[in-house]
A and B are shown apart, each in its own frame.
Chain A
Amino acid sequence: MSATTKSPTASDSRTASGSRTPSKAARLLGDRRLPVAVTALLFLLMYLGGLTRYQNFGFTEPQVFLNLFIDNGYLLVAAVGVTFVILSGGIDLSVGSVIGFTTMFTAWLVERQGLPLLVVIPMALAVGAFGGFLMGYVIHNFEIQPFIVTLAGLFLFRGLCLVISKESISISDSSVSSMAERQVSLGIGFLSLGAIISLVVLAVAFYVLHYTRFGRRVYAVGGNEQSALLMGLPQGGTKIAVYTVSGFCSALAGLLFTLYIQSGDPLHATGMELDAIAAVVIGGTLLTGGSGYVLGTLFGVLVLGLIKSLIQFEGTLSSWWTKIATGVLLCAFILIQRFMTTRRKT
């Protein structure tokens, strides 16, 4: 298609009266919620598949479902942060390193410096948010591609891990383990504190993206940054804020990861930014920005988590199959997105 001015919509829907309602089919295909529905459906099918195949191996326990949230809470929080960034048309590669750094930072302060956990938590969150803010500041003020700036962030935070310690630090502090073991019973099973926090983060993110001016600006900047500027929106501030949110979420994910694994290690969460990005994309958010839902990200994370569970239940497969399945899914979803966006244009 050469230009939007010549798109068939321009001629097909033209009528003398000036009424221009797109056809129902076109609307359905163009509906931005469709990818989320597709991912949710995929999750449901995979889950049903698991139910039938492993029904005699305990897959039918509701706790198996709840474990998806417990085992992937940190990934969900990180992916929510990445959703903000990708919606705004950017990318954040520093997520995994910030998570790794937070585990080291927390373990070091609690174990080696003897600081109480409740003091360490706000410090870790502040460091992560400040790191995100700095990257956003550089991206906006020096007009550098987010890919490069956050790549620098990736190396920087991973390097800082090693500055703290080259060895992993296991946490024996009782406040940490008691917090990690805290469970909330739901009748049919239980959720860990980390899982609850991740769901709260998801709900807050949904509210922010859909019911605040800031959230709508994220979509506007991702839709067309130049237009957002000319519409008088504070596009620079929005971009900086988005990376700050992502940095904050990464640090929070790091704290949840620390609780989950009860140690700090310079190599923790290596490459997790890619899992987070994959979850966001599988959840139906367009990498070009401006289109997607944080709820889709939840399903993206659940699908990735379910793949892991299924492979564990299968028993004979090596864990590398998780990566292969993720790769295949990611590829399929990007193709679906491509198909949908070209459909929307024509």
Chain B
Amino acid sequence: MAEPRPVLEMAGIVKEFPGVRALSDVDFRLFPGEIHALMGENGAGKSTLIKVLTGVHPLDGGTITLDGRSVRITSPLQAQQAGISTVYQEVNLCPNLSVAENIFIGREPTRMGRIQWKQLRRQAAELVERLGLDIDVGAPLSSYPLAVQQLVAIVRSLGTGTSTGGGEGPGTKVLILDEPTSSLDRDEVLQLFALMRRLKDEGVAILFVSHFLDQIYEVCDRMTVLRNGTLVGEHMVRDLDQVGLVQLMLGKAMGQLDELHDQQLHSHAGETLVRAEGLGRTGGIAPFDLEIRKGEVIGLAGLLGSGRTELARLLFGADQPDSGKVSIEGRQVSMSAPNDAIGAGVAFCSENRKSEGLVPDLTVRENIILALQASRGWTRPIPVAQRDELVAKYIKALDIRPANPEARVGQLSGGNQQKVLLARWLITQPKLLILDEPTRGIDIGAKAEIQKLVVSLSEDGMSVLYIAAELEEVLRLSHTIGVLRDRRLVAQIPNGPEITTTRILETIASGEHQ
């Protein structure tokens, strides 16, 4: 079969940062009308490749050919003008403006310098409708959930190639989607996929980056796998199964993931650690009863926004409950602030490790020691020797890379940042560890390590409240699964061999457990 000419060809790409060769001799090509996945662990060079392509980083070697012509891309703006648009994980739009304005700002239709609002709205509405989306373009962007904002960002990026936007087909030849799905739920992802397929049919070449393998297999046609800054191979998605892909990405067999299945689930009859009765908060989560025993892992399953995080925040005292009470080890505790919870032995790893957890400008050591020092009070500093020993121990135990306590946390990869955050709480030796999406946005190897850690912590008698978007993850680790739906804890299901993701999904969908 003769292949059509690729719209984009990158050959022999080299990119060096001080001390690191981020990309060495990588080839990459993209065909019109295909969805192409760029795969690799964190630090494999995916982001660097995208940044080189979009002009954020200058090239150190190699060539980029767009539509048969050799191009030099030196700035994001130039990339846009050349027809390469990027939509990032974070929505880079202005929430205070209307949807229509967000699509057109910077290139509004004007007559004698006066913005033609009617024309602008009409064009935006046409564009949105043509892409099969149901969005009121007059409403402010902030009135829409993140997923829709993401769709709007894509719509905007399509318009940037043409002078007035809309009109006859998108000017965008290459659309780069960098982890657009990481904060979307299932329905929202489907909506995004529908849009991607539509654009693909219109001949746009889409480069898609996602950590969710299932999504890759659902929507992509072709993939390129990177490992440690080198090209591992380019494959048609239908020719390579998931196990094969993971092996390519990791460069090793799947053994470490399989281990987990054998480890899980031994019976737990530990005594009650935490008992919540009628705990609830208006607008957050309906009153619920929950009992957590020592050494028990409770997984919370539910859609995004179903109240998983809200439940955890109540248990940690980050939000004030309107009703109910909490007792820890039989003693009633007032959870009016996180400090009370920390004092009672509860630790909380937030899902927003960047904004709520870590201080990126401090070193690994300082970040790890923060919570422990806080619990001792500033008048009793931790002796240097003891501190260094503790830090070294946890860096080793969690395999934080680089194993350098002086490294600044902001420079670590996502998975390693997550481990630093975990280390910070583990060092305080909590009785209950709350993990909110600890594996979000980190690569599959680090994911497995964190999951293994949860299992071993639980064996040591620590209770864990585990929140994850992936049901398989919850199912694999938990002794008990709490199912949330519409801000209500609808069921608590003891895990067992007969429990499957389908059963959980049914419970989420129906709101009751049979």
Chain A residues within CB distance 8 Å of chain B: 2-11, 13-14, 16-22, 26-27, 30, 32, 210-213, 216-217, 219-220, 222-224, 226-228, 230-233, 290-291, 344, 346
Contact = CB atoms under 8 A, between A and B. Distances in A.
B352 interface: yes
Q: Top 10 closest A-B pairs, CB basis?
A: A11-B305, A223-B94, A223-B96, A290-B96, A10-B145, A230-B92, A227-B92, A5-B183, A10-B305, A22-B143
A224 B94 contact: yes
B108 A216 contact: yes
28 contacts: A2-B318, A3-B351, A3-B355, A6-B304, A9-B144, A10-B304, A11-B305, A11-B486, A14-B185, A14-B188, A18-B133, A21-B136, A22-B144, A26-B143, A30-B140, A32-B96, A32-B140, A216-B97, A216-B115, A220-B97, A222-B96, A223-B95, A224-B93, A230-B76, A231-B92, A231-B93, A231-B94, A233-B105
Contacts of B310: 6
Given A16-B187, A223-B96, A2 B356 contact: yes
B77 interface: yes
Interface residues of B, number: 56
Interface of B: 76-77, 80, 88, 91-97, 101, 105-106, 108, 110, 113-115, 117, 133-136, 139-140, 142-148, 156, 160, 183, 185, 187-188, 191, 283, 303-306, 309-310, 313, 318, 350-352, 355-356, 486-487
Given A10-B305, A11-B303, A230-B76, A5 B96 contact: no
Given A22-B139, A27-B143, A232-B80, A291 B305 contact: no
Given A3-B351, A219-B96, A232 B160 contact: yes
A227 B106 CA distance: 12
A216 to B, nearest CB: 6
Contacts, number: 133
Contact of A13 (B108, B145, B355): B145
A9 B147 contact: no
Nearest to A3: B352
A8 B310 CA distance: 11
Nearest to A228: B94
A212 B350 contact: no
B509 to A, nearest CB: 11
B376 to A, nearest CB: 27
Contact of B97 (A13, A213, A223, A346): A223
Residue of A14, A18, A27, A219 contacting most chain B CB atoms (<10 Å): A18
Contacts of B76: 230, 232
Contacts of B108: 213, 216
Contacts of A220: 94, 97, 105
B54 to A, nearest CB: 11
Given A22-B139, A213-B115, A227-B94, 8 more contacts: A2-B309, A9-B145, A11-B304, A11-B486, A20-B148, A213-B113, A224-B92, A230-B76
